[in-house]
Amino acid sequence: MLSGTVTWKRDRYRCGFGARSSDTGGVSDAPLSAPRRRSTASVIRTAAAAVTAMVLVTAACSDRGGDLVLSEQAARGQSLYRDSGCAGCHGGDGGGGAGPTLVGIRDTERPLLDGTTVIADQDYLIRSIMEPHIELVDGYSLRMPSNNLSLDQVLDVIAFIDELDQQP
């Protein structure tokens, strides 16, 4: 049973709720606990999470706006790119951020986490979007999440990526 108590102990005023003990018939005189302090590691983790969130929001919002002139297929790809969350890491205009830049990626050599390299051709782009956990790009701590895009949708996204190179 809980009861509200006000007691004097060692010249300190203490107010709180104590557990009434049946053996003592009184209120627990356990000292009130000090306010909980956060560890330095916890503060650092919280700050790192906040900075990461700001980077992702900034990357998602960095966009060329209405400057893009896209084919119909690339326009569908751009919608899929934004709706699927790609812009959150690769930037609204593909310029990179938490994830690698996509502007100018076509036919470039990409270093992978396992120490090998791969050429970013059509097959690589399809694989990296459909099975993002297979070939991990070196230098990025965040891993691209899986998605449910069909092959046709992936080809639309790749058309968007290809046309980013052609923009002013």
Q: Is the dihedral of CA 168, 153, 146, 57 positive or negative?
A: positive
Instruction: Let me know if residue 110 belongs to a domain.
Output: yes
* Of residues 119, 154, 152, the one with CA closest to residue 135: 119
User: When comparing pLDDT for 141 and 79, which is higher?
Assistant: 79
Is 52 part of any domain? no
Q: What is the pLDDT of residue 61?
A: 43
Q: How many helices (H) and strands (E) does the chain have?
A: 5, 4
Angle subtended by helix axes 72-83 and 151-164, to nearest 10? 100
- Establish if 75 belongs to a structural domain: yes
CB 20 within 8 A of CB 2: yes
User: Would 141 be classed as within a structural domain?
Assistant: yes
Which of the four pLDDT bands, split at 50, 70 and 90, describes residue 166? confident
Amino acid sitting at position 132 = P
Which has more confidence, 32 or 97?
A: 97
- Give how many domains the chain has, as a whole number: 1
| Position 4 in a domain | no
* 24-63: pLDDT as tens digits: 455 555 555 555 666 776 666 665 555 454 444 444 444 4
Q: Identify whether 50 is part of a domain.
A: no
| 55 falls within a domain | no
* Band (69; pLDDT cuts 50, 70, 90): confident
Q: Which domain holds residue 155?
A: 62-164
Domain of 77, CATH number, reads: 1.10.760.10
CA distance 97 to 91: 6
Taking the complete model, does pTM exceed 0.95, yes or no?
no
- Provide the H-helix boundaries in the chain: 40-61, 72-83, 86-90, 122-130, 151-164
Read off the pLDDT band of 80 (50, 70, 90).
very high
**Dihedral (Cα; 66, 70, 75, 78), 10-degree rounding:** -70
pLDDT given for residue 33 in this prediction: 56
Inside any domain, residue 20: no
Cβ pair 32, 16 in contact under 8 A: yes
- Residue 160: pLDDT band (50, 70, 90) is very high
